[in-house]
Amino acid sequence: MGDGEIAGVGSLNIQSDSNAVGESSLSTDISDVGNAPMTPGDVEKNGSITMDASMKASSLNAEKLEALDATQGDKARFNFREFVKYTGPGWLAVVAYIDPGNMYADITAGSSYAYSQLWVVFWATVISWLALTICSKFGIYARQHLARAFRESYPKWVNISMWIFIEMVVIATDIPEVIGFAYACNIFFGWPFYAGVLASFVTTMLFLMVLNINRGFRILEVMVLLLVGAMCILLLVELFINGANVKQLFFGWAVPTVWSGSVFNMIGIIGAVVMPHNLFLLTGAVQTRIPRGRTETRKVFLYSKLEPIIPLCISWIVNLSIITLAAKNVFPETCPSGETSDPKGQCAAGPVINDPVLDPNSVTLLDFCQYFDSSTSGGCTVWGLALIAAAQASAMTTTFTGSFVMDGFIEMKIPVWTRSIGTRCIAILPAVIIAAVLDTPESLDYVIGIVNVILGLALPIALIPLIQLAYSRSKMGKYRISKILYWVAMLFNIFLVFFNSASFYTDSVFGQYMGADQAASNFVWAVQANILADIITVVYITINFYFVFRLPTTTTCAALADEEYKTEADTEPIDLGAIGAMT
């Protein structure tokens, strides 16, 4: 295996930029550690090395690490030039926060509830940064991506169940991306939606071709960065042209407000911002930046904490812009005097008030640009470009995530083209059927809304195991996450579990079939709806609390950079191909 090559992340042949974070980083080729000779008996046919060879290499490597730390010191110092070279994984992860699904959630929030859900987007973004920090720390110090660590830490039946579940989440995440691309094709070329959905297949394959060329992964990161930057600039220009009610904006940002009927959309916002597939993406993406040595490893972790801040701020600006544009252009700022009809309760909600001049449900992701003040001078062109940037960047990252998931959970390494084609076909199929049969943006938007809620419901199921693994002493040693961070993250998840469970009883799900009025008209169905809601709630809570109380059975990664991680649990041969050749 060549110097700096990372394996075990699908068949992507990603090249590491480990030297980008320090010229003193040690070689990643285990056969060159300390120039230690290895006999043929030390290496097995499948690429794994025996424990004796691993311990020999570890001993020699520890001596190098001690010498390295003695010359460098133990404190990671920030270097802007190195930080710029490191930039990449955080941008890939943050793309998920500004995809077409997120745009739809923002439009619904602004058009139905004005500025009142800005606080949800803001705190979801903060939680995202905490989640990304945990992902980075786990990926860097455990030297594994989440899917592989999960497979090694939970029973086989749990592993298979989680693999199927996460695969469905990845496929569901991909559906809004292809719909968003279809909308953009309709704006620019007037294509029917099903044609735009099919076209997304070709464009994504063209973008993924860069992975087969030299430094293709780095080029992919730059392409994503440019797409996100372009989208941010376009929306900021549109926001500047349209303006905003600054007072109501800051009130909606600073004061948590829950309007009647808004719970379901709040879950959709959380799911669209803190997307579960991101946890698997970032823990795998940071593997391309891991060096050797404590000082260099700490420096990489420092950069990994700082890197998402800028893209997260950009994602917050994008979401803020879309919500503001929806609140400003779809709803007037005040209720008409003497108005008695107030079906959603906006007029009685307080300082953030408005009354619709049209049904907000009729505002779709496609025609939202028609409500811009600049709609006659290029507003829809700007919106179409933003949709293309969001859809294309997100589609590439979901395909990339799928390779980590399949390789980690079931150790099935398939070529990136095979994986990409399979994922794209499965994601496109339901979108094509809906687009061809119904052929209305309302129906496609409904699908996007359902996907957002599914992601919100799935989030704690994916996040709780990550927190448990990152807090595991046997997996992380002294570098496990702090007790404060552990409890903050865990309490957020527990709150989200019960918040999601309560949503099953809202009018958007089963609540519309419950209550005295519904029981009077159809008593049998009202009882059945109550029973069904109870069953789903119990199952959902049980699954989540299984991961809360069932601690992972972990063994220490033999590839960790610090000798102190070694434990007696490391008794099995270490497969370098399986763990990414990280020794």
Does residue 23 form part of some domain? Answer: yes
135 to 10, 143, 354, 542, 561: CA distances (angstroms): 19, 11, 40, 25, 18
**170 contacts 394 by C-beta, under 8 angstroms:** no
Does residue 286 form part of some domain? Answer: yes
pLDDT of 138 above 80: yes
223 to 91, 210, 218, 389: CA distances (angstroms): 10, 10, 9, 10
Under the banding of pLDDT at 50, 70 and 90, the label for residue 385 is confident
- List, for residues 86-113, the tens digit of each pLDDT value: 666 667 666 667 788 888 999 888 888 8
Lowest mean pLDDT among 146-150, 181-185, 353-357, 530-534: 353-357
What CA–CA distance (Å, rounded) separates 369 from 391?
Answer: 17
Three-state SS at 333: coil
Three-state SS at 43: strand
* Mean pLDDT estimate for the chain: 72
Q: Are strands 48-49 and 574-575 parallel, antiparallel or unpaired?
A: antiparallel
Q: Note the residue count of the chain.
A: 583
Does residue 478 form part of some domain? Answer: yes
pLDDT of 163 above 50: yes
pLDDT at 582: 30
How buried is 137 (Cβ within 10 angstroms: 0-12 exposed, 13-18 middle, 19+ buried)? buried
pLDDT of 465 above 90: yes
Cα-trace Rg, the chain:
25
Q: CA quadruple 322, 323, 324, 329: dihedral positive or negative?
A: positive
What CA–CA distance (Å, rounded) separates 115 from 378?
Answer: 25
In sequence order, which residues have a C-beta less than 8 Å from that of residue 133 and are 6 or more positions away?
A: 304, 305, 308, 485
- Nearest one of 374, 401, 232, 257 to 313, comparing CA atoms: 232
The structure tokens listed for 479 are 């570098």
**540 contacts 499 by C-beta, under 8 angstroms:** no
What CA–CA distance (Å, rounded) separates 173 from 277?
Answer: 8
The structure tokens listed for 42 are 């030390």
pLDDT higher for 475 or 293? 475
| Amino acid type, 371 | Y
Largest distance between two CA atoms of the chain? 90
Three-state secondary structure along 112-174? Answer: HHCCCCHHHHHHHHHHHHHHHHHHHHHHHHHCCCHHHHHHHHCCHHHHHHHHHHHHHHHHHHH
Under the banding of pLDDT at 50, 70 and 90, the label for residue 461 is very high
Three-state secondary structure along 482-538? Answer: CHHHHHHHHHHHHHHHHHHHHHCCCCCCCHHHCHHHHHHHCHHHHHHHHHHHHHHHH
Domain residue limits at 37? 18-336+346-503+551-568
Expressed in percent and rounded to 5, the helix, strand and coil fractions of the chain are 70, 0, 25
What CA–CA distance (Å, rounded) separates 573 from 571?
Answer: 7
pTM assigned to the model: 0.73
Give how many domains the chain has, as a whole number: 1
pLDDT at 24: 38
Does residue 535 form part of some domain? Answer: no
Please, what is the angle between helix 441-470 and helix 277-285, to 10°? 60
Does residue 417 form part of some domain? Answer: yes
pLDDT at 373: 64
pLDDT higher for 267 or 286? 267
Does residue 94 form part of some domain? Answer: yes
Does residue 395 form part of some domain? Answer: yes
pLDDT-above-70 percentage for the chain = 63
Kindly state the average pLDDT of the residues 156-172: 90
Does residue 574 form part of some domain? Answer: no
At residue 331, φ and ψ (nearest 5 deg) are -110, 140
pLDDT of 344 above 80: no
| Amino acid type, 51 | M
- List, for residues 49-87, the tens digit of each pLDDT value: 433 443 444 344 444 444 444 444 445 566 667 767 666
Q: Residue 67's domain is classified under what CATH number?
A: 1.20.1740
48 pairs with which residues across the strands? Answer: 575
The structure tokens listed for 372 are 């811009």
Q: Count CA within 13 A, CB hemisphere, residue 447.
A: 25
How buried is 384 (Cβ within 10 angstroms: 0-12 exposed, 13-18 middle, 19+ buried)? buried
What CA–CA distance (Å, rounded) separates 499 from 271?
Answer: 13
Write out the H or E segment, with its range, that includes residue 49.
strand 48-49
116-132 burial: b if 16+ Cβ within 10 Å, else e: bbbbbbbbbbebbbbbb
First-to-last CA distance in the chain?
A: 12
pLDDT at 96: 66
The structure tokens listed for 471 are 């807090």
One DSSP character per residue, 53-65 reads HHHHHHHHHHHHH
Three-state SS at 75: coil
| Amino acid type, 214 | N
